[in-house]
Amino acid sequence: MPGSRSRSFLALSLLFTIGALMGLTTNLVKIAGTQGWPPLAYLLWSLLGSGLLLLALSWLRGERPGLGATSLRYYLASGLLSITLPNGLMFSSIPHVGAGFAAMCLAFPPLVTYLLALALRMEGPSRIRLLGICVGLLGSVLLALGKLHSGDSPYLWVLAALCVPVFLALGNIYRSRYWPQGASPLSLAPGMLLGGALLLLPLSGLGFDLQPRLHDATAIALLAGQMALFAMVYALFFVLQKLAGAVFLSQIGSVAAIIGAAMAIGLFGENGSLSMLLAAVCIVGGVLLVASRGTKEAQA
């Protein structure tokens, strides 16, 4: 059916667009670190700025975020699982494990998301989709083993980076399962970003440096760039989730993994490896298999 084909094409286009923007983020974080930005400070101010940008856009479009107890709980919970925990770990681990490895870790969420969706009966079983996710996971395992055996990064930070996809998967499931009734994608995105920023603030009392670094034009431009990236990513993020569901959405990480790792090798001269190449082949194959399953019907 034409409508079904156009719907699938839109979902796949959004998948690759968002994945590319997320892959760019891992590399911007590394550049920001060289300009004096502490990882969590860069995350906090990027979230705050992007959240305010999307809040202004949602008001201009007449899609104002809900302020009831259910909506506020959704913003905080989705902000914690989808923003604060995974991005906090990723931003902090990049100086230790490299932008390429951090990007490739984003390929892990699909299997966890799919298994959780099956357990909660949010998705039906599909052999093709499960095969695709397992192929992608094989690539991620090859990547992780290669990094651990290389011995060039502290194990603690490698494990921290590997925890990122677990929280992303939990966030994917939570956002779908508890999507506020009648809420539009644009009305939810700013609340999640601002909720994530709010949850970072207590870290200041624990000794973490959250002060902005606005000492020169480069540092300011990096912050503005990340604000714009977050705003674009999460505005489109909710659109794709509404259109295609949590499992299809989780494939964003696979695209981000490939693009982010390629950029890290090309821009920063990070070392590639045979295991990384094999991982990339597996991940691309997994995305194509999952995409061939098509998108699910839009949620009410």
In a 13 Å sphere around the CA of 142, the CA atoms on its Cβ side amount to 18
pLDDT at position 296: 43
Tell me the pLDDT band of 292, cut-offs 50, 70 and 90.
Answer: low
Higher per-residue pLDDT: 271 or 265: 265
Per-residue pLDDT tens digits for 25-75: 888 888 898 888 998 999 999 999 999 999 999 999 988 898 899 999 999
Q: What is the pLDDT of residues 230-240, one digit of tens each?
A: 999 988 888 88
**pLDDT tens digit string along 137-166?**
787 677 667 666 665 567 788 888 888 888
Residue 131 has pLDDT above 90, yes or no: no
Distance, CA of 146 to CA of 96 (rounded, Å): 16
Q: What is the mean pLDDT of residues 174-200?
A: 91
Q: For 111, phi and psi rounded to 5 degrees?
A: -65, -45
- The residues, ordered by sequence, that sit 6+ positions from 197 with a Cβ below 8 Å of its Cβ are 44, 47, 48, 51, 79, 83
Q: What percentage of the chain has pLDDT greater than the value 90?
A: 25
Q: Which residue has the higher pLDDT, 256 or 147?
A: 256
pLDDT tens for residues 109-120? 776 777 777 777
Distance CA(2)–CA(227), nearest Å, equals: 36
Provide the pLDDT confidence category of residue 272 given band limits of 50, 70 and 90: low
Task: Give the C-alpha separation, 108 to 133, whole Å.
Answer: 9
